[in-house]
Amino acid sequence: MMEKRDELDGPVLYHLDDSCGLEDVEEGHAYSGYVNGTADYGVFVSLNDSVSGLIHESNLASSLEVGEDTKVRVEEIRDDGNLSLTPVHMHDYEEVYIGEDGGEDGGEERRTPIGEVVEGDDVVLEGEALSVRQTSGPTVFTVADGTGTVDCAAFVGAGERAYPEAEDGDAVRVTGEVETRNGELQVETDELEVLEGEDEGEVRDRLSEALDDRAEPPELEPLVDSEILHDLYPRLRRLAFGVRRAVLKDRPVVVRHHADADGMASGVAVERAVFSLLDEVADDPEAQYHRFNRMPSRAPFYEMEDVTRDLNYALKDVERHGHPKPIVLMLDNGSTGEDGDAYRTLDAYDIPVYVVDHHSPDDEIEPLVEEHVNPYLEDGDYSITSGMLCVELARLIEPSVEDELLHVPAVAGKGDYSEASEMDKYVELAREHGYGEEHVEDIADALDYESYQLKYDDGRHLINHILDVEENEAHDELVPHLKTLAEEAFEKQMDSARRHVDDVSTPNGATLCTLDVEKYTHKFTFPGPGKTTGRIHDEKVDEHDGNVVTVGHGPDFCVIRAEGVGINIPEIVDELQDEVDGAGVDGGGHLVVGSINFVQGKREEVLEALYTKIAQAPLKEE
Amino acid sequence: MMEKRDELDGPVLYHLDDSCGLEDVEEGHAYSGYVNGTADYGVFVSLNDSVSGLIHESNLASSLEVGEDTKVRVEEIRDDGNLSLTPVHMHDYEEVYIGEDGGEDGGEERRTPIGEVVEGDDVVLEGEALSVRQTSGPTVFTVADGTGTVDCAAFVGAGERAYPEAEDGDAVRVTGEVETRNGELQVETDELEVLEGEDEGEVRDRLSEALDDRAEPPELEPLVDSEILHDLYPRLRRLAFGVRRAVLKDRPVVVRHHADADGMASGVAVERAVFSLLDEVADDPEAQYHRFNRMPSRAPFYEMEDVTRDLNYALKDVERHGHPKPIVLMLDNGSTGEDGDAYRTLDAYDIPVYVVDHHSPDDEIEPLVEEHVNPYLEDGDYSITSGMLCVELARLIEPSVEDELLHVPAVAGKGDYSEASEMDKYVELAREHGYGEEHVEDIADALDYESYQLKYDDGRHLINHILDVEENEAHDELVPHLKTLAEEAFEKQMDSARRHVDDVSTPNGATLCTLDVEKYTHKFTFPGPGKTTGRIHDEKVDEHDGNVVTVGHGPDFCVIRAEGVGINIPEIVDELQDEVDGAGVDGGGHLVVGSINFVQGKREEVLEALYTKIAQAPLKEE
Amino acid sequence: MMEKRDELDGPVLYHLDDSCGLEDVEEGHAYSGYVNGTADYGVFVSLNDSVSGLIHESNLASSLEVGEDTKVRVEEIRDDGNLSLTPVHMHDYEEVYIGEDGGEDGGEERRTPIGEVVEGDDVVLEGEALSVRQTSGPTVFTVADGTGTVDCAAFVGAGERAYPEAEDGDAVRVTGEVETRNGELQVETDELEVLEGEDEGEVRDRLSEALDDRAEPPELEPLVDSEILHDLYPRLRRLAFGVRRAVLKDRPVVVRHHADADGMASGVAVERAVFSLLDEVADDPEAQYHRFNRMPSRAPFYEMEDVTRDLNYALKDVERHGHPKPIVLMLDNGSTGEDGDAYRTLDAYDIPVYVVDHHSPDDEIEPLVEEHVNPYLEDGDYSITSGMLCVELARLIEPSVEDELLHVPAVAGKGDYSEASEMDKYVELAREHGYGEEHVEDIADALDYESYQLKYDDGRHLINHILDVEENEAHDELVPHLKTLAEEAFEKQMDSARRHVDDVSTPNGATLCTLDVEKYTHKFTFPGPGKTTGRIHDEKVDEHDGNVVTVGHGPDFCVIRAEGVGINIPEIVDELQDEVDGAGVDGGGHLVVGSINFVQGKREEVLEALYTKIAQAPLKEE
């Protein structure tokens, strides 16, 4: 199946196609490759999908960027199969294609990869016509074959449409001569043929493979040493691949994330990476407005109202602007059973969903999502926050954004009070890059406060300035100001709330603290009932030295936080549904942090039943 | 007044102007005409406003579309005045204009209808300058006279404005020679004169008449046999005429409709027809975004907030984009007295309102609306739903949309539980076109559910896919999924609501079922209090075998449904206003389906008084 | 320091730079100047920043507009230092520059002010490159130096970038010849040099001074005779200067105003002036959409949610569209301590805030705002309403809008029930211009009603038509219709509310009237609790002949109005905060008009404490 040619007279650059293996490589030969990762000690270069090696940093004269095409010489094929490479600079060389698609066999022999066309050559190109436009002179077909893109000008008369049978999206074979026009290569077309059947199939396959190659994320290690992150990395890589592939295919990316500091950090990290990738690959200079949409979700799951909105707008873009259908990313959100209805709605349109979440996941969503990254899936828990994961993801989508995001995992962790060992490392990483722990915490508080004020808007630059991922001198004044406002707002709520908390000792030796948040807090203002109850809880845990369950209740809901008491909120919800008839109980969350909804008229019964369960729950072992 | 010319040597094509009657027609002559209706047995062709005849299908070689221009020979003028026509194909013929405007009398003789200009002719055109644009060469006046539109280029110097006294909107007379430029006819202008007085009046009149001609809806029969539909057809035709005329005049069309399945079906049917017409006649390829706006209304009438919003945006478009003022269509909404305030607001701007509704109408709105189609106006009732009427209307606006809408009346009827005999026929029509009754019902349920999720958005393509008027394979998965979600949502509400319904036997032998919807249903979720009360009512009617009044009450409103008991809700509202002082009672609806609002502090008094009235209401005769 | 040249042979036009004083002026000489004010008796012309004189109207052949450049002869330097001027028409004259920057000293001598370039001249220009654009021929630099703007074309090859080191924003020196191209002067560039250091500094200074000159508001007197207005005028002038300077610098103007008749009138007056100025100075014909944004605020202060939104959108415009950062105007709003948080947020971005308000101001905001116009700052009170002040401001921003705004102060005053003596004069002014008092009042009522319906939208043209500042015949029908709707809505609320007011005689001899607005008025409809309570209060004052305090209370707020009783609401709020623990009391307002918020669960306690305070308040002296 493999073929190799005898050495030619002049210098030769070999291209390995993806069917080649190590056995097709010869020491001393020069190969075409691309950079797919960097390390302290050098740069990894892939010769095809499966064959790659290292240029040691001692051999690197200039820096190479991930994704860059390059030429290398194979100095040594080591016993362990690793290749030792050096950069090579070649001019006036011949090119030889090795593997299934290469060689000079039959009619195939004349096809020139677009990436290889040179001025003056007579070429036969095969590719997809990305667009067809009629100028006042020739008709111009923009053709891509996975190695490159080139304009092919066909002239039959001024302003007259050449090859009217060929439309954009068609697979075509173009015969012509390569010329330079306005500094760009262009093919003066002698003949253009629309391909069908097997020939078309080959064009599509080559494009798809080339796309897969380009979509491959770089080889990176997590920013901090962590077993869980290590175990989650294959998932993150697959998710990054999906995002990169979508972007390369011009598919819009819709991001939904939780509207708090961890969620915002998650969304921004991914946004920065996608924008950087779009800058590189998108033709449309406004692509970051047209091909990306990030929105905070108010609810802790993907509400039908939200998915309806997203779908509605996506379909309008499809029909009005010719956009492809989007992919959806759920960040710091999306792993619970309540998300299933939305995912099934998207599925009717074959819109894939990718989830990065650190909330306790429900098995039932697994078949509905394309990829799911969640510490719980690898024996971790919510202390590895979504923001941490999304910064790792962002690097895999586009490694160049790493520098501006190094402090973001620590901000995300502070936002969610992470006590993971990884948190300490991320805090240390932030400190190394100039963000002390207090600064990081202030950013988290400011972000949390401003998320509330923004409601449904992404707040793009404002949030970037708070998070300091987009340089602006406002950061220095903005963060302490917003942090102060947040604290004052908390103090105001706490001042009236604190006095109306009832503390009851329960038979299990714990303390049950309850507060009517409807009656004793200001409504429709920051902090809302959840955050206020959380703060009450923290104070009560201090006051009673642990073993506290706090319930903030309104007319048709309650918010629960527990410490040192082994409650299981999802289980309690199930039990209450059975025990309190006609109360319309639902809700959920984590084991010890969650909320329950019910109909207003059954509030007393539901709360009473809830309190009884809490009073009977076992204390946790220290 | 009529003049006819002697037979000429070569073949002659006669044009009848609108002043001609049957007496101006001669057997054997060829006439210009246009198709204005089709039937199984042939095609109706009009020779002018009042003279038309039939080409029998046996004489039709190729198909003719409604609106198409054609040439016909009059084979026979039958005794009953009907014309028997055959298609005629002519080349190299002379044209003769018959009637007031035709002939070769005086100065008028030289005017050439724009629709008749031929390359090389010296012409005198009279029409309205639709636009004037300055090119780097000549000044170009686009002139229309009702028979066509042509560009007239006037050159006085490169980039210099010719005839600066002539502005867009002026009536002008252009003398020049017809040339071809870029494949389009263009008049090389020798002289351009702005017309005033009588000459201007004639230009305007011809344009207005031509517009009226073009706005005339096709001659169609209802899709199903129905006396009420037959009686409503003249109203529907006049309404269609109004919409067509607005579209032809570039006036935006604003559609407000009820936010449920029947309302959505109504809105979509009209939207499809208007889009199809816009495709045909609008210059702006984005016209469907700029000249049409469909919005669901949450309230059962045109709230001041909504009309303020619509008017505000319309005025901004007028000032910023030079749009004409819109017309407003109220669908499945708009026939009650509560709409009057909004209509009067629009009236200040001379914005006409057209209503298609099947809710019981109030007389007082009649003088405020341009046209009102409502089954109650022709001895029908709400079982002829708005969606049914709007599909008929859509055909009259643009007959080509008929095919995609044939199942829509059945969907609309299912949405409103129609039990009309027409409903059976529409269901049968849907079945014939591949939509079984269950499928139709699922679509209605899905539509209802998704209307709720969309809130104030039209949901254009998403709704089209659910309703299957825009082909998309998502339909097959989307409809059952949304239907299931709707059912689950109902079940969840019913599960808590059902247990808290109080059934009381009333002295009149009926059962009064009451439910506190505020206390015993989830708020801000589908289904809302109205739909939930409806479902409770349906169950209670089954349980008690009819004779049930159900009242779902909240803090300041209640929803009422009655079966077998002769209540009259609008009357009850009037009585309660008198009887319960300071309760701020209002509301209304149909006789047996409606809602009442009151101030929260008088809830007990109002409900008590209401229950007393219900208990005294007579049972209906079976 | 000053230099003057001997008389030249031909006619000479002198230019005084800003360093010149009266001593540099000679009788009989002709000077360049500009119109900076008009009076009944003539026109004021400035020769530079500090030297100006009057052309008596008897010497005015044609009208001169404020801001217009003109040439004058100094007929007489009066003993009191005033100059008597006459218009002069000159052709073929030489120009002499007097002062520090003028003269023919050294290298400076050759610089030509752009405003003086003439076709055929060889010139040396110094200015800022506002933009650089590459044509298919030369590179074109648009250069401004404060006296004018001119395109400088530099050619090095077709489509090739000349002087690539020069970017927009750079200070440049251009040497070349002045030609005419397409009717515009253009400099054929021989040499272009980027300036640095001192040379650059001079360019910037000249531009900044020129901008300051242009930003200077005209010399005007208030529309009506008023001591307070007279005292406030310096503040208004400084504020107008800030707005004009922002507009001239292309900075967007964000206007936030109270959502009632006075606030709307304020916002519209400023909008009209800014639009008029933009029409004059902005290149972008859509500038009024891109550089101006007016929004009603629902809250009586600048909520964090609102400022977050405004800042978010401004930053998006900065990044996406390259806009400068905006300035913010608070109208009929913005003078209380509650605004401080928002102002500090803007301050992080150095976005200046200007306030025109007539609510009782808090000292703490003074350091946070750029300029504050408020009658309380000059011994006035709220009877001088914001709308009155904003019409005066509008004239100072752009005097040409005066004519259309002459009735607006009266409307604003009616909206806020002003009883100032100035109000009578404004009413009289309105009457003189065709707006009778009743008409003015109807407009205020219509505006108030429609503000409510518009919610967060500016309602641009609709409001303009109601206010009659943009001519539209709808005005005549719209205003009485909306006024009637407003009255009906009031009657409906009052009908239920009125019966549930409790009147209690208090020990201080007053009457305390209380109403549960939650229970006894319709919610979410016009008029809201504040306006309803106000109307109740007015009725009760009539009924009890003064000495009434009215409190409309809801679950977590109350609205207070007092007449004849000396309460101090801000003080009461402070006391309640101390006295009622955990009630979360805040709020405020004026002395006798305000509102208080509290947590729902402490409602009874707060109200009871409030009523006690009211009962003990002293009666006011008549």
Are the Cβ atoms of B521 and A311 closer than 8 angstroms? Answer: no
What percent of chain B clears pLDDT 70, i.e. is strictly above it? 97
Q: Are A390 and A331 in contact (CB under 8 A)?
A: yes
Catalogue the E-assigned strands of A357-401.
Answer: 371-373
pTM over 0.90: no
All partners of chain C with 3 or more CB pairs under 8 angstroms: A, B
- Taking Cα atoms as reference points, which of C502, C539, C542 lies closest to residue C520? C502
Would you say residue B102 has pLDDT above 80?
no
Q: How far is C514 from chain B (nearest CA, A)?
A: 14
Work out the pLDDT band at A7, boundaries 50, 70, 90: very low
Are the Cβ atoms of A345 and B461 closer than 8 angstroms? Answer: no
Point out the residue among B312, B349, B601 whose CB comes nearest to the CB of C516. Answer: B601
Residues of A in contact with B520 (CB under 8 A): 582, 584, 599-602
Q: How far is B475 from chain A (nearest CA, A)?
A: 8
Stretch A589-596: mean pLDDT, rounded? 84
Q: Number of A:C CB contacts under 8 A?
A: 77
Point out the residue among C312, C341, C349 whose CB comes nearest to the CB of A459. Answer: C312
Give the Cα separation of C16 and C225 in Å (integer): 35
pLDDT computed for residue A105 by the predictor: 41
Residues of A in contact with B455 (CB under 8 A): 305
Alpha carbons within 13 angstroms on the beta-carbon side of residue B187 total 29
- Taking Cα atoms as reference points, which of C164, C174, C175, C173 lies closest to residue C198? C173
Q: How far is C582 from chain A (nearest CA, A)?
A: 4
C-alpha dihedral sign at C76, C81, C85, C91: positive
Point out the residue among A460, A482, A485 whose CB comes nearest to the CB of C316. Answer: A460
* Token pair recorded at residue C272: 């009209």
Other C-beta atoms lying within 10 Å of the C-beta of residue B180: 10
Task: Quote the mean pLDDT of chain B.
Answer: 91
Disruptive mutation site among A136, A302, A303, A311 for chain B (greatest number of B CBs within 10 Å): A311
A374-414 pLDDT, tens digit per residue, is 999 999 998 999 999 999 999 999 999 999 999 999 999 99
From B210-224, B504-518, C62-76, C534-548, the region with the lowest mean pLDDT = C62-76
Q: Number of B:C CB contacts under 8 A?
A: 77
Q: What's C186's DSSP letter?
A: E
Would you say residue C2 has pLDDT above 50?
no
Are the Cβ atoms of A516 and C311 closer than 8 angstroms? Answer: no
Are the Cβ atoms of B493 and A341 closer than 8 angstroms? Answer: no
Would you say residue C91 has pLDDT above 80?
no
Are the Cβ atoms of B582 and C495 closer than 8 angstroms? Answer: yes
Stretch B29-50: mean pLDDT, rounded? 86
Domains for chain B: give ranges and CATH numbers: 12-98 (2.40.50.140), 111-206 (2.40.50.140), 217-480 (3.90.1640.30), 501-616 (3.10.310.40)
Residues of C in contact with B320 (CB under 8 A): 289
Point out the residue among C461, C474, C497 whose CB comes nearest to the CB of B319. Answer: C461
Residue of A nearest to B501 (CA): A582
Point out the residue among B312, B316, B348 whose CB comes nearest to the CB of C481. Answer: B348
Point out the residue among A482, A495, A519 whose CB comes nearest to the CB of C600. Answer: A519
Point out the residue among C308, C318, C582 whose CB comes nearest to the CB of A496. Answer: C582
Residues of A in contact with B497 (CB under 8 A): 582
Are the Cβ atoms of A347 and B465 closer than 8 angstroms? Answer: no
Q: What is the DSSP string of C548-579?
A: EEEEEE-SSEEEEEEESB---HHHHHHHHHHH
What value, to the nearest 5°, has the Cα angle with vertex C551 and ends C549 and C552? 150
Residues of C in contact with A447 (CB under 8 A): none
Point out the residue among B455, B477, B520 whose CB comes nearest to the CB of A348. Answer: B477
Q: Are A301 and A338 in contact (CB under 8 A)?
A: yes
Disruptive mutation site among A443, A462, A487, A521 for chain C (greatest number of C CBs within 10 Å): A462
- Taking Cα atoms as reference points, which of A361, A359, A351 lies closest to residue A329? A351
Disruptive mutation site among C184, C295, C455, C495 for chain B (greatest number of B CBs within 10 Å): C495
* Token pair recorded at residue C300: 């009586």
Residue of B nearest to A319 (CA): B461
Quote the crossing angle between the two packed helices B227-248 and B261-281, to the nearest 10°.
40
Are the Cβ atoms of B474 and A304 closer than 8 angstroms? Answer: no
Work out the pLDDT band at B100, boundaries 50, 70, 90: low
Q: What's B80's DSSP letter?
A: T
Work out the pLDDT band at A5, boundaries 50, 70, 90: very low
B455-509 pLDDT, tens digit per residue, is 989 999 999 999 999 999 999 999 999 999 999 999 999 999 999 999 999 998 9
Are the Cβ atoms of A516 and C601 closer than 8 angstroms? Answer: yes
pLDDT computed for residue A39 by the predictor: 79
Q: How far is C346 from chain A (nearest CA, A)?
A: 9
DSSP lists the bridge partners of residue C61 as: none
pLDDT computed for residue C148 by the predictor: 84
Residue of B nearest to A603 (CA): B519
From A140-149, A531-540, B543-552, C88-97, the region with the lowest mean pLDDT = C88-97
DSSP lists the bridge partners of residue A437 as: none
pLDDT computed for residue A100 by the predictor: 64
B55-97 pLDDT, tens digit per residue, is 988 888 777 888 788 889 999 888 877 899 998 888 778 878 8
Residue of A nearest to C304 (CA): A453
Residues of A in contact with B499 (CB under 8 A): 581-582
Other C-beta atoms lying within 10 Å of the C-beta of residue B263: 28
Point out the residue among A461, A465, A523 whose CB comes nearest to the CB of C316. Answer: A461
Q: What is the DSSP string of A78-133?
A: -TTSPEEEEE----S-EEEEESTT-S--GGGGGB--GGG--TT-EEEEEEEEEEEE
- Taking Cα atoms as reference points, which of B123, B128, B47, B126 lies closest to residue B88? B47
User: pLDDT higher for C201 or B37?
Assistant: C201
Would you say residue B340 has pLDDT above 70?
yes
Residues of A in contact with C312 (CB under 8 A): 454, 457, 459-462
Are the Cβ atoms of A583 and B453 closer than 8 angstroms? Answer: no
Point out the residue among C304, C348, C601 whose CB comes nearest to the CB of A477. Answer: C348
End-to-end CA distance of chain B: 65
DSSP lists the bridge partners of residue B184 as: B181
Q: What is the DSSP string of B335-362?
A: -SGGGHHHHHHHHTTT--EEEE--SPPP
- Taking Cα atoms as reference points, which of B449, B354, B373, B440 lies closest to residue B405? B440
Work out the pLDDT band at A147, boundaries 50, 70, 90: confident
Give the Cα separation of A475 and A434 in Å (integer): 14
Stretch B524-547: mean pLDDT, rounded? 94
Are the Cβ atoms of B345 and C478 closer than 8 angstroms? Answer: yes
pLDDT computed for residue C9 by the predictor: 58
All partners of chain B with 3 or more CB pairs under 8 angstroms: A, C
Give the Cα separation of A520 and B345 in Å (integer): 44
